[in-house]
Amino acid sequence: MTTADPVATASELLIGSKNPDKVAEIQALLADLEITVRSLDEFDVPDVEETGESFAVNAGLKASVFALSTGLLTVSDDSGLCVDALGGDPGVYSARYAGEGCSYQDNIDKLLENLKGVPSDQRTAQFIAVLACAAPDGSVRFTVEGLVEGYITDEPRGTKGFGYDPVFYYPPLRKTFAEMEPEEKNRISHRANALGAFRETFLQLRT
């Protein structure tokens, strides 16, 4: 006897993130899928330490723990900034680049300090987001990646967004992410691209 694939048959999908901004963004982009979307704040679940050395491992770790503790098909994400001149740093350490408990501003200050003297054409960077989908038994069924390319500015510009947005310049719109309206950023961001890929794979597996 073969067991039905949980991605194909699940009637509910849990968004495994404790960040309300991300939950809202993911919910909006998955709204028309024929599945009931559940949120983590309905459950008492453990915190998951992001101990992996890649975004995919961390996203899988979170999806797996949340799926196991709720019994639901779960999608979780991990994301960060990779700067070419710094060998891909801060990467998976993006949130705590300047140390545990540091602020977004501390991270930006450290990044700009480490890039001092690097000419603008060598300040290329990518925001990367990975989404992992885990079955109720904790097994990771698939992961997808989204990416957006840009440059790190010499100084912060703009007040919108969060994290490294004020120093991430996106040439096609000639703005940093912090100078964009949220809807503008959400059309082209790494997370939007990852969600597009997630939708595609998810829909394929459900047909």
Q: Known catalytic residue: 78?
A: yes
Asked if residue 16 lies in contact with residue 63, where contact means CB atoms within 8 angstroms, the answer is yes
User: Angle at Cα 15 formed by Cα 11 and Cα 18, nearest 5°?
Assistant: 155
Closest approach of ligand IMP to the CB of residue 164, in Å:
4
Q: Which of 61, 163, 175, 176 binds ligand IMP (CB under 6 A)?
A: 163
Closest approach of ligand IMP to the CB of residue 79, in Å:
4
Closest approach of ligand IMP to the CB of residue 97, in Å:
8
Asked if residue 188 lies in contact with residue 181, where contact means CB atoms within 8 angstroms, the answer is no
Provide the mask over 9-38, with x wherever binding to ligand IMP is found by CB under 6 A and - wherever it is not.
----------x-------------------
Q: Which helix (H) or strand (E) holds 143?
A: strand 140-152
Q: By CB under 6 A, which span of 4-12, 73-81, 112-120, 194-202 interacts with ligand IMP? A: 73-81
89 touches ligand IMP (CB under 6 A) = no
The CB density around residue 136, as the number of other CB atoms within 10 Å, is: 17
User: Can you give the length of the chain in residues?
Assistant: 207
Question: At residue 203, what are phi and psi to the nearest 5 degrees?
Answer: -65, -40
Which residues bind to ligand IMP, rule: CB under 6 A? 19, 77-81, 94-95, 107, 127, 161-165, 177, 189
